[in-house]
Amino acid sequence: MRNFNYYAPTQVVFGKNKETKVGELVKKYGGTKVLLHYGGQSAIKSGLLAKVEESLKNEGIEYVKLGGVVPNPRLSLVREGLEICKKENIDFLLAVGGGSVIDSCKAISSGRYFDGDVWDLYLKKAVATQYMPIGCVLTIPAAGSEMSDGSVITNEEGWLKKDYCTDDFRPKFSIMNPELTYSLPAWQTACGAVDIMMHTMERYFSKDDDMEITDNIAEALLRTVKDEVKKVLKNPTDYSSRAQIMWAGSLAHNGLTGCGTSGDWATHNLEHELSGMWDVSHGAGLAAMWGSWARYTCKENITRFARFAVNVMGVTQNFRSAEETAEAGIVAMEQFYHSIGMPTSIPELIGKQATDKEIEEMANKCSNNGTQTIGCLKPLSKADMIAIYKMANK
């Protein structure tokens, strides 16, 4: 087992009606004047925003609202939030929404006391030393940002998408009421489930083979999400299944499933380029790429793929052939993706095949013009990336 750090200090307040506790929690963590950050109309229409405002008022906490966060949250709105925070002496950030809203809050948090341009932090040109505290009311289980240390922001000038990670980004509290996810459409629910599973799988598929406890927990989490998402798609107001998925989303990305492992993350990198080129949903893009990545790299640790097949996908082990067991597991995963309405290829994702030129462009970006590899299980060169994109293009 590799040496590791595990640090997940976020207080999770989980269950029905817990959003009414938000005022108390902001107060507990020292907030007196809040930037209430959210996305579009759904938080308003559902009445959630009004509930949150009422809870803040009940505790005598002032707030300024800033909506308009979009998927792949934008730097321009972060800058707007920073202006408000400075002008209004805001001392606490409250995210009401999913990963994009939380990531936008994290960016504002890092820029608040930083004497320079916040984008330089995401370009790793500088490091902030002081951060604003963040709290969350989560409405979309997927990104895991409600307990994670990461934030991804898109700069509209050049459409650069960059991440910044620090333990200071971990929220002080996250309120999770599964009922708030009842209204998520089937497509978004399925994309979220894929994202959650992939956060676990990126850490699971490594060359390390001596972290039994982490592997066992990862498999437990994957089986749970795989089974529960099907129930939710049949019955969107199944509280128990919504709850399992919501909690799994946090555990999949708070560090727990990576304790003692190395992690791969190549599928995420390959998908980033798909999102950049066709603005597809992250989860759907991951589903479209994973099978091809798996077939291309599985020989690097075939017993692990066989184990995944048996322990997660419920495949009957072929004791004479780890290769056949592994392949059966990949097929089963693709069947699962199809069963929840997810694509398993680029044509299924974007409705047409990618051209050779588009594949070349994606591989160029992903490999920084052939100068960088991605992934740990098998470090992938630009040529490898092209091969995988082509496998996924059939």
* C-beta neighbour count of 347 within 10 angstroms: 15
User: Judged by CB under 8 A, does residue 4 bind its own copies?
Assistant: yes
Q: In what order do the strands lie in the sheet with 134-138?
A: 62-66, 33-38, 92-97, 134-138, 173-176
User: Judged by CB under 8 A, does residue 227 bind its own copies?
Assistant: yes
CA 111, CA 19: separation in Å to the nearest integer? Answer: 27
User: Judged by CB under 8 A, does residue 8 bind its own copies?
Assistant: yes
Structure tokens at 5: 């750090």
Minimum CB–partner distance for residue 321 and its own copies (Å): 24
Q: Are 292 and 369 in contact (CB under 8 A)?
A: no
Residues 9 to 28 in contact with its own copies, rule: CB under 8 A:
9, 11-16, 18
Q: Select the residue interacting with its own copies from 41, 129, 216, 372 (CB under 8 A).
A: 216
Q: Select the residue interacting with its own copies from 132, 193, 198, 248 (CB under 8 A).
A: 248
User: Judged by CB under 8 A, does residue 198 bind its own copies?
Assistant: no
Kindly tell me which of 240 and 335 has the beta carbon lying closer to its own copies.
Answer: 240
Minimum CB–partner distance for residue 165 and its own copies (Å): 16
User: Judged by CB under 8 A, does residue 228 bind its own copies?
Assistant: yes
Q: Are 55 and 22 in contact (CB under 8 A)?
A: yes
Secondary structure (3-state) at 130: coil
Which residues lie closer than 8 Å to 387 by C-beta, 6 or more apart? 296
Q: Select the residue interacting with its own copies from 65, 223, 295, 365 (CB under 8 A).
A: 223
The DSSP result for 243-289, as a single string, is HHHHHHHHHTTSSGGGTT-----HHHHHHHHHHHHH---HHHHHHHH
Q: Select the residue interacting with its own copies from 139, 148, 224, 275 (CB under 8 A).
A: 224
User: Judged by CB under 8 A, does residue 103 bind its own copies?
Assistant: no
How many residues touch its own copies under the rule CB under 8 A: the total is 41
The footprint of its own copies (CB under 8 A) covers: 1-9, 11-16, 18, 178, 210-214, 216-217, 219-221, 223-224, 227-228, 239-240, 243-244, 247-248, 251, 256, 259-260
